[in-house]
């Protein structure tokens, strides 16, 4: 199942736009929000995004000497932790399609003194510029829903993963609790854009982010997409009532 509705259009939030326009529109969103991305993440999630990311790190199995790819790594939250885990003999690649986000991430990691084993690569998840069977672990946190062709991205991740390696997708998902869904919808479409307006001077970008979450495949659909891409032992863990899910799959 691809998220493209038919050959020439795809979803940008709730809008239907030409396929070739989506990457540019998503880029505009992240150029706009890059400078305030970290503070908005803390405000939007009440800091809970840090717990979701910590769980991802704990379940990654990353250890000294590993080679890790952090796709849509943005401002480097996961990359920073992975850099410490893999040590000087390991390597972490922070990849993001958006150069504004990469610059913010690079500056932040420099401030933490953590760039010795980190490489920064501007890359599209749909066609990753790395060799086959290259990485021990690949993560994409809150980035897959912004990719135009998610199936192509999952295939690309599988290609560059070593046999026995793990793909981890941390992403907003679907809650099956009606009361929580109602509360979450109110927050996403009323409070979130206003926070974006006040903090980042950009309500529209945060309205898009809320819409993109609703258009993202549910847990079972994403699990099937990962299996179709060639991953096995695919499973997911719901976090915070299913508002977020952590999907994992192994390359056979």
pLDDT by residue (tens digit) across 84-141? 999 999 999 999 999 989 999 999 999 999 889 999 999 999 999 999 999 999 999 9
**Is the Cα dihedral 125, 126, 128, 131 positive or negative?**
positive
Locate the domains of the chain by residue range: 4-176+206-250
Question: What pLDDT digit, counting tens, does each position of 11-20 carry?
Answer: 877 788 687 7
| Model pTM score | 0.87
> Which residues belong to the annotated binding site?
75, 96, 124-125
Residue found by looking up tokens 């998503």 in the block: 26
C-alpha–C-alpha distance, residues 230 and 252, integer Å: 8
Which residues carry a binding-site annotation for S-adenosyl-L-methionine?
75, 96, 124-125
Q: What is the CATH number of domain 4-176+206-250?
A: 3.40.50.150
Q: Which of 200, 21, 19, 27 is nearest to 98 (CA)?
A: 27
Tokens of 126: 């749909």
> Token pair 């096995």 is at which residue?
232
Tokens 């309500």 belong to which residue?
203
pLDDT at 1: 44
- Return the number of other C-beta atoms located less than 10 Å from residue 104's C-beta: 22
């Amino acid at each position: 199942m691809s998220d493209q509705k038919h050959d020439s259009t795809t979803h940008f939030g709730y809008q239907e736009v030409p396929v070739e326009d989506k990457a540019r529109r998503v880029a505009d969103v992240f150029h706009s929000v890059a400078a305030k991305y970290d503070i908005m993440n803390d405000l939007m999630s009440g800091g809970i995004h840090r717990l979701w990311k910590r769980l991802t790190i704990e379940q990654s199995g990353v250890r000294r000497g590993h080679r890790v790819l952090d796709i849509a790594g943005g401002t480097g939250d996961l990359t920073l932790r992975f850099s410490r885990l893999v040590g000087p003999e390991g390597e972490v690649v922070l990849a993001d399609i958006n150069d504004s986000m990469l610059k913010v991430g690079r500056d932040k990691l420099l401030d933490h003194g953590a760039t010795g084993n980190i490489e920064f690569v501007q890359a599209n998840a749909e066609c990753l510029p790395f060799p086959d069977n290259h990485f021990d672990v690949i993560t994409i946190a809150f980035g897959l829903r912004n990719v135009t062709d998610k199936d192509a991205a999952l295939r690309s991740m599988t290609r560059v993963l070593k046999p026995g390696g793990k793909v981890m997708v941390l992403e907003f998902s679907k809650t099956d609790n009606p009361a929580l869904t109602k509360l979450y919808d109110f927050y996403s479409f009323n409070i979130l854009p206003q926070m974006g307006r006040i903090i980042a001077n950009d309500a529209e970008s945060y309205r898009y982010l809320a819409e993109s979450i609703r258009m993202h495949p549910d847990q079972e659909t994403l699990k099937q997409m990962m299996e179709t891409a060639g991953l096995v032992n695919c499973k997911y863990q719901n976090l915070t009532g299913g508002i977020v899910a952590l999907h994992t799959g192994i390359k056979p």
